[in-house]
Amino acid sequence: MVALTEMTNWAVDLIDVRKTYGRNVHALRGVNIQVGRGEIFGLLGPNGAGKTTLVKIIMTVVRPTRALGTILGRPLGHRGKLARTGYLPENHRFPGYLTGAQVLDYYGALAKVPRAKRKTNAARWLARMGIAQWANMRVDKYSKGMLQRLGIAQALMNDPELIVLDEPTDGLDPVGRRDVRQLLLELQKQGTTVFLNSHLLSELEMVCDRVAILVDGLVARQGTLAELTEHTVEYRVTFMGNAQPVREKLVAMGGTLDGDMLVIPGSDINKVNAAIDVLRQNNLLIESVEPHRFSLEDILVEAVSSANVGDSGRRKPV
Ligand SMILES: Nc1ncnc2c1ncn2[C@@H]1O[C@H](COP(=O)(O)OP(=O)(O)OP(=O)(O)O)[C@@H](O)[C@H]1O
Ligand SMILES: [Mg+2]
């Protein structure tokens, strides 16, 4: 019983997913990822890490070499649950002779959305994505950003419980990207689970509850942003005056002097205060004290450069 509850708790639960293209392109080498219901989950990683392959396996576009797991509580590939899932493929192509409105109707029909619902949803999402004025223009005349907006609208036609977006902000200008972030938060408020691929890390940082970093077909890190960055804090103390006379003392305390800034690694506020005492006792004026968290980019670069790919174990149920 416990195992069953655990299994259905996740919106996406991937266990030991492997994909080898041909004989020796090992795109995925045993990926474990768990996405809670209602989460915005970001999958990130360098080009070629296997992100699109993983998404295509979830959507059953690519056949895995091996995969266990569930989406929306049912085994991967479950037709009923796929019908409850929206999907924006990477570099999607729509038939150029269709208009935007026709594309949405066509893809809605493929997802078995009833006709009346297709009509209201198409109007709703064309408006929400800011492309209503081009609804009746052929999509071969759409700009890249307009096509991307249409692609996202398409992924929403079936009122999905889970939406899987491969590089949703690709081709969008800064305003468009912000708009997509806003949309994701709105979807989350309605209870939709969002699974997205992106290499735009600063964007993920702004909206994702959890992220997994995929490197070379394996999950190098997985967790909330806070979890991923908890051990990567340093304090930066700026001051006025000459700190050279106390340099050795500060270095002995673990600090590093960099011009008029003292950097104390870690998050121990006692250490920071002790170092500030040293500065103050030498009549230096403290200008600012700031905790500095490393960005997702720092974490990714570290994950990519370290051969230590680990922690691909399953998350505990929430
Ligand atoms: N159809 C295919 N046939 C052979 N190899 C493939 C195929 N699709 C992907 N690959 C290989 O699998 C690996 C992972 O590719 P994938 O597209 O999943 O990466 P990605 O993380 O989405 O990269 P990007 O950030 O560039 O989109 C790459 O080495 C790629 O060359
Ligand atoms: Mg990709």
pLDDT of residue 316: 45
Whether residue 100 sits in one domain with residue 221? yes
CATH of residue 255's domain is: 3.30.70
The answer to whether residues 269 and 208 belong to one domain is: no
What's the gap in Å between 191 CA and the centre of ligand 2? Answer: 26
Digit-coded pLDDT (tens) for 283-301: 999 999 998 888 888 888 8
pLDDT at 93 > cutoff 80: yes
Atom number, ligand 1, closest to the C-alpha of residue 197: 22
**26 contacts 80 by C-beta, under 8 angstroms:** no
Asked if residues 166 and 55 have their Cβ atoms less than 8 Å apart, the reply is yes
Q: Which ligand is nearest to the CA of 90?
A: 2
Output the six-digit token pair for 79: 């037709």
Q: Are 149 and 167 in a shared domain?
A: yes
The pLDDT of residue 161 is: 97
Asked if residue 186 and residue 50 are part of one domain, the reply reads: yes
Of 289, 294, 284, the residue nearest 271 (C-alpha): 289
> Quick one: 165 and 18 in the same domain?
yes
CB 126 within 8 A of CB 100: yes
Based on the fold, state whether residues 278 and 140 are members of the same structural domain: no
Residue 304 has pLDDT above 90, yes or no: no
Is the pLDDT score of 202 beyond 80? no
Q: What is the mean pLDDT of residues 270-279?
A: 96
Residues 114 and 250 in one domain: no
Cα 198 versus chain centre, distance: 6
209 and 277 assigned to the same domain: no
Lowest mean pLDDT among 107-111, 117-121, 293-297: 293-297
Cβ–Cβ under 8 Å, residues 212 and 40: no
pLDDT tens digits, residue range 6-61? 456 899 999 999 999 999 999 999 999 999 999 999 999 888 999 999 999 999 99
246 and 178 assigned to the same domain = no
Q: Is-contact 28 12, C-beta < 8 A?
A: no
How far is it, in rounded angstroms, from Cα 275 to Cα 135?
A: 63
Q: Is 27 in the pocket of ligand 1 (CB under 6 A)?
A: yes
- For ligand 1, atom 5, the nearest C-alpha belongs to 21
Return the pLDDT at 236: 95
Q: Which of 25, 56, 304 to mutate to test the pocket of ligand 1 (most atoms within 8 A of CB)?
A: 25
CA 109/CA 161 separation, integer angstroms: 18
Residues 46, 97 share a domain: yes
Residue nearest to atom 24 of ligand 1 (CA): 47
Question: What local confidence, expressed as pLDDT, does residue 2 receive?
Answer: 46
Determine contact, residues 186/16, Cβ cutoff 8 Å: no
Rounded Cα gap, residues 87 and 85, in angstroms:
7
Confidence of residue 4 (pLDDT cuts 50, 70, 90): low
Domain count, the chain: 2
Taking only the tens place, the pLDDT of each residue in 210-236 is: 999 999 999 999 999 888 877 668 899
Same domain, 17 and 139: yes
